[in-house]
Chains A and B, each alone.
Chain A
Amino acid sequence: MTQKTKTLLERRYSMLGLLLIAPTVLVFCAVIVYPLVSAIYLSLFKIFTPTLEGTWVGLDNYRTLLAKGEFWTSLRTNLIWTVGTLTLQIIFGVGMALVLHQNIWFRSLARSLILFPYFISTVVAVLVWKWLFNDLYGILNHLMMSAGLIDWPLDYLGTMPNAMISVILVGAWKYFPFVVIAVLARLQTIPDHLYEAARIDGAGPIARFFDVTLPQLREVLVVIIMLRAIWDFKEFDLIFLLTGGGPVTSTQTLPLLVYKEAFALNQMGMASAYAVIMMLIMLVFMIIYIRRTRSEDS
């Protein structure tokens, strides 16, 4: 806006507005902006975590990490995890939303049950799944064996590719309810007359899904996919608690790598470099998502 003569009243309102946002700004600067800047600053040092003593190394950390295989493997693992779990979440989530959109018995109870995994703590989810996965007494092995699917108990978390598959599945179980609720909310706003028109035009249920439902869901699906991609990419708790990145480093994604560098290998500076690189990768998604939201706003 160009500078114009503002009335006293307008200026007083602006002052009040600034006053009301001041606590937010202060807290933001203290706990988000300052740490963010110092994360970048820290990444230029070599720091030993227990003593927190550092020496300036410039961009050395970045040079080292880009040359190291571990970064690239972790990035690959991170992408496999993200794509895998996201795909399952979307497919299963949209499917479940379509089912729950129908008039089934005790619909609200069914919806609550579906929603529950999303809200429970990751710690609870992991404990429960570890118990289900238990090699000797776990119900999963028992059910699979009595169904004749496997002859011997499986080691779900200790071998590859089982560990990756298990992590992806548990991730899908925990986070698909988000997709269900979001899609369900959108489904409820599709006007009935669209379906009636399609029916009059002779479209069967499958054609109606592809010609009416899916185009209507497109917008919301793009938003969901971007949001979930960002959140899945940075997921720490679930993988850390289920496998700890193991066996060895087979399920070690970038957030786990940051944690390991900082608190197991005590390389705080190096860890910061990893974190900064990881943020740069995510920035691409974030900017796409934010741009989209802003254009929708205006």
Chain B
Amino acid sequence: MLRKIAFNLFAWSIVLAVAFPLFWMLVTSVKPQFELFRRPPTMLPETFTLEHYWGLLTETKFLSYFWNSIILSTTTTVVVVAIATIGSYSLVRFRYRGRETLAFLVLFTYLLPSVVLILPLYLMLVNLGLSNTITSLVIAYTTFALPYALWLLRSFMAGIPEDLESAALVDGASRLGAFWDVILPQLLPGIISTALFTFILSWNEYLYALVLVNSDEARPLTTGVMNMLISSFNIEWSLLMAASVMMSVPLIIAFAFLQSYLTRGFGAGGVKG
């Protein structure tokens, strides 16, 4: 019994140590500015305030960045998941020349460093007159999100028994009919999982946003918030921590309600490969 308690205390102290930076982010964001520079620092805020959140929403461009990020991530997710769903169906359930090579190419690009693609992409998007638009970022994000989504969905798709589709075909469905009636409902948890991962990847992306967008109209959260750090003369840590918390809100929602989908995606794509 004593050993059990000791082990639990040990385990939880590590867990809390790992989570401490996040706890500290939360605490800092609700402290008034003067309390921040108190020595020794206060572990829990003596005065609780939401002024930084208010300031963030009213005095900075945070909301506009947030909105850009929502549009950008949603568009990328919808486009990528739609293409990858039918693509993975084709890769798993059809036979044609070059299918294996294509699957190999998907895995290859899934591992490709983005700095290799970013220079030509930059040139391409500038030539197309798309620089400084959300569209340019959607196009750029496809380069990492599509291979990733394809790879995840391919393994989800492979997990659906082939007999189900065969049964639907014998029962009178066409290939696409069987896909719609039988495969899609079975794939749904996998699609949700993939969409979640794609959304998070796009939400967190930094490099492409840094290179391709240089105007506040199209700037997403990652580069936007980073700009707030760099451009301010006097760094307002509370404000930045409030921004960090707000930026993590979609993640917190995903964690609270959709955690099983997150772990499922891990199993399908992350490790098994």
Binds A, one of B17-25, B52-60, B185-193: B17-25
Q: Which of A28, A223, A255 contacts B115 (CB 8 A)?
A: A255
- Does A128 contact B96, Cβ atoms closer than 8 Å? no
- Does B146 contact A24, Cβ atoms closer than 8 Å? yes
- Contact-size category for A: 35 or more
Known: A36-B117, A38-B120, A128-B241. A286 touches B108 (CB 8 A): yes
- Does A119 contact B251, Cβ atoms closer than 8 Å? yes
- Does A13 contact B270, Cβ atoms closer than 8 Å? no
- Does A132 contact B102, Cβ atoms closer than 8 Å? no
The residue of chain B having its C-beta at the shortest distance from the C-beta of A238 within the complex is B206
CB distance from A156 to the nearest CB of B (A): 13
- Does B150 contact A296, Cβ atoms closer than 8 Å? no
Binds B, one of A62-70, A96-104, A208-216: A96-104
- Does A16 contact B271, Cβ atoms closer than 8 Å? no
Q: Once bound together, how far apart are the Cα atoms of A271 and B155, in whole Å?
A: 36
A293 within 8 A of B: yes
- Does A255 contact B140, Cβ atoms closer than 8 Å? no
Contacts of A226-279 to chain B: CB distance below 8 A: 227, 230, 233-234, 236-237, 240-241, 254-255, 258-259, 262-263, 268, 271-272, 275-276, 278-279
Residues of B within 8 A of A279 (CB): 112-113, 116
The count of A-to-B residue pairs whose CB atoms sit within 8 angstroms is: 267
- Does A17 contact B90, Cβ atoms closer than 8 Å? yes
A18 within 8 A of B: yes
B194 within 8 A of A: no
Known: A185-B266, A276-B116. A24 touches B22 (CB 8 A): no
B107 within 8 A of A: yes
- Does B109 contact A28, Cβ atoms closer than 8 Å? yes
Residues of B within 8 A of A262 (CB): 119
Residues of A within 8 A of B150 (CB): 24
Q: Which of B86, B113, B124 contacts A20 (CB 8 A)?
A: B86
Mask: chain B, 136-163; 1 = CB below 8 Å from A; 0 = not: 0001101100110010000000000000
Contacts of A13-63 to chain B: CB distance below 8 A: 13-14, 16-18, 20-21, 23-25, 27-28, 31-32, 34-36, 38-39, 42, 52
Q: Which of A21, A34, A110, A119 contacts B90 (CB 8 A)?
A: A21
A162 within 8 A of B: no
Residues of A within 8 A of B251 (CB): 116, 119-120
Among A108, A113, A123, A220: residue with most chain B CB under 10 A = A123
A137 within 8 A of B: yes
Q: Once bound together, how far apart are the Cα atoms of A32 and B117, in whole Å?
A: 7
Known: A96-B14, A279-B113. A117 touches B24 (CB 8 A): no
The residue of chain A having its C-beta at the shortest distance from the C-beta of B16 within the complex is A113
Mask: chain A, 76-113; 1 = CB below 8 Å from B; 0 = not: 00000000000000000000100110101100101011
Known: A31-B121, A272-B119, A275-B119. A146 touches B24 (CB 8 A): no
The residue of chain B having its C-beta at the shortest distance from the C-beta of A262 within the complex is B119
CB distance from B86 to the nearest CB of A (A): 5
Q: Which of B25, B90, B139 contacts A128 (CB 8 A)?
A: B25
- Does B83 contact A27, Cβ atoms closer than 8 Å? yes
Mask: chain A, 157-189; 1 = CB below 8 Å from B; 0 = not: 000000000000000010000100110011000
- Does B83 contact A13, Cβ atoms closer than 8 Å? no
Contacts of B81-136 to chain A: CB distance below 8 A: 83-84, 86-87, 89-91, 93-96, 99, 102, 104-105, 107-109, 111-117, 119-121, 123-124, 126
- Does B123 contact A114, Cβ atoms closer than 8 Å? no
Name the prevailing secondary structure of the B interface residues: helix
A-B contact list, 17 entries, CB within 8 Å: A17-B95, A24-B146, A39-B119, A104-B8, A108-B259, A120-B204, A121-B203, A123-B204, A127-B25, A127-B240, A128-B22, A137-B39, A173-B18, A181-B270, A233-B113, A236-B206, A268-B119
List 3 tightest A-B contacts by C-beta distance, closest first. Answer: A17-B94, A234-B113, A24-B87
Additional A-B contact list (20), CB under 8 Å, known A116-B251, A127-B244: A20-B94, A21-B87, A21-B91, A35-B116, A42-B123, A96-B18, A112-B259, A114-B15, A116-B19, A119-B254, A121-B206, A134-B237, A142-B41, A258-B119, A262-B119, A272-B119, A275-B115, A275-B116, A289-B273, A290-B107
Residues of B within 8 A of A (CB): 7-8, 10-12, 14-16, 18-19, 21-22, 24-25, 28, 36-37, 39-41, 83-84, 86-87, 89-91, 93-96, 99, 102, 104-105, 107-109, 111-117, 119-121, 123-124, 126, 139-140, 142-143, 146-147, 150, 175-176, 200, 203-204, 206-207, 211, 221-222, 225-226, 229, 237, 240-241, 243-244, 247-248, 251, 254-255, 259, 262-263, 266-267, 270-273
Residues of A within 8 A of B (CB): 10, 13-14, 16-18, 20-21, 23-25, 27-28, 31-32, 34-36, 38-39, 42, 52, 96, 99-100, 102, 104-105, 108, 110, 112-117, 119-125, 127-132, 134, 136-137, 139, 142, 146, 173, 178, 181-182, 185-186, 220, 223-224, 227, 230, 233-234, 236-237, 240-241, 254-255, 258-259, 262-263, 268, 271-272, 275-276, 278-279, 282, 286, 289-290, 292-294, 296
